[in-house]
Amino acid sequence: MFSRSFDQQLLSRICRRSFLHQSSYSIGGVALAGMLQTSGLRADSVAANPQPDNKRGMHFPSRIRRVIHLCMSGGPSHMESFDPKPELDKLDGQPFPESFTKGQQLAQLQNAELKARKAFCKFTPSGKSAIPIADIFPHIQGIADEICVIRSMHTEQINHDPALGFINSGSIQKGRPSMGSWLLYGIGAETENLPGFVVMVSKARKGGAQPVSARQWSAGFLPSKYQGIQFQTRGDAVHYIKSPEGVAPAWQAETVQQINRLNRLKLDESLDPEIETRISQYEMAYRMQTSVPDLTDMSSESTETLEMYGVKEPGDGSFASNCLLARRLVERGVRMVQLYHRAWDHHSDIVNSMPAAAEDVDQATAALVKDLKQRGMLDETLIIWGGEFGRTPMGQGTGRDHHINAFSIWLAGGGVKAGTIYGQTDELGYRFIDDGQQVHVRDLHATLLHLFGIDHQRFTFKFLGLDARLTGVEPARVIHDIFA
């Protein structure tokens, strides 16, 4: 697709001597080839990463250079964030109309008595655009004119891990590449000193925390060099980043050089993409011994900046500290940063737990948008804020259950129309309205790729004989109407 095929590479090197040399491994080679073909790791399924100029994109000019995904893990309630429902408030405590739910998939509320639950908080029309935003997000209210709220999101997976997997990879199958890995595979990063795809995880101060598995940032069947790298949010961002005591930098550099010389000899022989990964990771790890300490040294950040984000102590594991680090990462050429905040699974005590979760993220989220704008970076950075699904307009004890038919996210920067709302849900917030403005998770992926200059239908990877895509085989559309 992007480079010579494996067959072309192989033919260019076949001669009598190489044939005899390679045939000496015949039995083992046949067995290995069979194993690799079964696992989808044969070298002919691998395309080189050309890292083209980011302004050109892969298929057409790109609008953005980087993305920061603020993943509100657990599924924030849209009725208490960006989608007020006065009719639901009036119906509070009464039986939820069966016409909405009959034959519909529910999570833990299946076969339970369904009663409407009103929003516990008020909404304020915010900014010149007058976007209604819940009062538990006062700082995000302050950036209303910078965001595009999508109210008509919907998904297919009703439990956390598969739903997170779906919004990350477009599939519930384990072993599929995440969207960050797809981006790195297609257009590379702008830095050689840091990973191109970095992940950080923070946790709620009060309730709602769901575990997040590393498969969410996996490279899947792509070469593993495109995998997201998790940075620790306390202490050293990367374990063992410092050289062992008594090891001189020159000696370490020579060691890495000689190891990779042997690895390149093996790569020339086998064309195994994982050897290429091993080479690049040795070199990356060596460079990170300098780049990571510089990245995490916040002494250059002003007091005003720390206060704007609400950072009490850099590197304290908070979402605020992670947001500031995210800005420093994209400044240094990292292609994608994902910040997971495990705080939004509110089956109970939503009245107390959701405001606490909102307080965790509200100030730092708004600060990130403002900080990028004042640095001239927002236009080429896409910020995505949202969870893996929504919550039911029906109550579940003192909380709300998982919900797939409607949820809200918002986007900022990246050439999207600021101060706008796209899509709607019905009067009770149960389902998206099918008016041409409904947005499936696959549509979000197609739109993300388009902003990077990638046609999602032409962006494929040969896996098990199929041309695999981030957007899969189901219909997906680019949401052009949200572009500025």
Q: Are 62 and 55 spatial neighbours (Cβ–Cβ below 8 Å)?
A: yes
pLDDT beyond 90 at 34: no
Using the predicted structure, report yes or no on whether residue 72 has a pLDDT greater than 60.
Answer: yes
pLDDT over 70 at 347, yes or no: yes
In Å, what is the CA distance from 392 to each residue of 149, 158, 165, 294, 423?
19, 11, 21, 45, 18
What does the domain layout of the chain look like in residue ranges? Answer: 1-39, 50-240+301-482
pLDDT score of 5: 40
Q: Which residues pair with 150 in a beta bridge?
A: 409, 422
Single-letter amino acid code for the residue at 414: G
- Cα dist. 140→82, 131, 375 in Å? 10, 11, 19
How much of the chain, in percent, has pLDDT values that exceed 90?
67
33: its two tokens:
């080839």
Q: Is the pLDDT of residue 15 over 70?
A: no
- pLDDT band at 236, cuts 50/70/90? confident
Give tens-digit pLDDT for 175-202: 899 999 999 999 998 988 899 999 999 9
- Tokens found for residue 418: 């600021």
Per-residue pLDDT of 281-323, as tens digits, reads 656 665 667 778 888 899 999 999 999 999 999 989 999 999 9
| C-alpha pair distances (Å), 365 with each of 238, 302, 320, 322, 373 | 24, 18, 8, 10, 13
- Measure CA 479 to chain center: 18
Question: Under DSSP, is residue 226 helix (H, G, I), strand (E, B) or coil?
Answer: helix
The pLDDT tens digits for 109-164 are: 988 899 999 999 999 999 999 999 999 999 999 999 999 999 999 999 999 999 99
Of the pLDDT bands very low, low, confident and very high (cuts 50, 70, 90), residue 238 is: confident
pLDDT tens column, 20-30: 444 444 344 33
Q: What's the pTM?
A: 0.84
**pLDDT grade for 38, boundaries at 50, 70 and 90:** very low
pLDDT band at 240 (very low <50, low <70, confident <90, very high): low
Contact 230, 214 (CB under 8 A): yes
- Per CATH, the architecture of 50-240+301-482 is what? 3-Layer(aba) Sandwich (3.40)
Q: So what's the pLDDT on residue 408? A: 98
Model confidence over 52-69: pLDDT tens digits? 444 557 899 999 999 999
Closest listed residue to residue 91, CA positions, set 393, 413, 399:
393
Does the pLDDT at position 10 exceed 50?
A: no
Q: How much is the pLDDT for 7?
A: 42
